[in-house]
Chain A
Amino acid sequence: ETGVTQTPRHLVMGMTNKKSLKCEQHLGHNAMYWYKQSAKKPLELMFVYSLEERVENNSVPSRFSPECPNSSHLFLHLHTLQPEDSALYLCASSQESVRVGYGYTFGSGTRLTVV
């Protein structure tokens, strides 16, 4: 257990479905992130939440909708996805401070397949 828990581990959905990915961190961190990892590509940042407020959105399509109800929970709501959205979605957390120097802790990921 890494301290960051993601559910479900695997998800298969049709292009017309609506589903949600869940992330929970037990580390007392104040920032949470969604990353996407596609085959043969470096990890890409999707969303950043700091103190429950979204601070960065790296031009992610609107079919991905994040939600951060509190500092321990992060969701990624999915709707009308495309097959190219199939990837490993990773959640991470960190402790932001004036003295930046803390590392990131990642969850085990959700393997998403869009059919």
Chain B
Amino acid sequence: KQEVTQIPAALSVPEGENLVLNCSFTDSAIYNLQWFRQDPGKGLTSLLLIQSSQREQTSGRLNASLDKSSGRSTLYIAASQPGDSATYLCAVPSGSARQLTFGSGTQLTVLP
């Protein structure tokens, strides 16, 4: 059974810092990995989707990497801003690939 772990559970940084969020998964036979952002009480916004054949994906100040063999992904946020404050979730398809298994998320607070 696939398990997804995210470290740290919470992170508070001053504005302007570069930061790294970590995601690990137990079953490396994944099709892809997706990073989401969730604001309090809201739905999920997709940030980046990395296919199993890719090493990384970039979107603006965000860069996500994937190392299937070690079962790890990182989300790098450059020059953090208060507007980046949210919970960040990683998820991988598992089973028949119809089910997304989520981590518990990293709650990020960027202080002005």
Contact = CB atoms under 8 A, between A and B. Distances in A.
Interface stretch (A48-56, A63-71, A76-84): A48-56
Nearest to A48: B98
A104 B46 contact: yes
B32 A103 contact: yes
A96 B98 contact: yes
A108 B36 CA distance: 13
Interface of A: 2, 6, 31, 33, 35, 41-43, 45, 48, 50, 55-56, 58, 88, 90, 92, 96, 100-101, 103-109, 111
A94 to B, nearest CB: 8
Nearest to A40: B104
A1 to B, nearest CB: 11
Interface stretch (B19-27, B37-45, B65-73): B37-45
Contacts of B52: 101
A104 B44 CA distance: 10
A88 B41 contact: yes
B43 A109 contact: yes
A103 B96 CA distance: 15
Contact of B49 (A33, A103, A107, A111): A103
Contact of A101 (B32, B46, B100): B32
Nearest to B32: A101
A31 B98 contact: yes
B99 interface: yes
Contacts of B41: 88, 109, 111
B79 to A, nearest CB: 25
Name which of A45, A48, A55, A92 has the most chain B CB atoms within 10 A of its CB: A45
B43 A104 contact: no
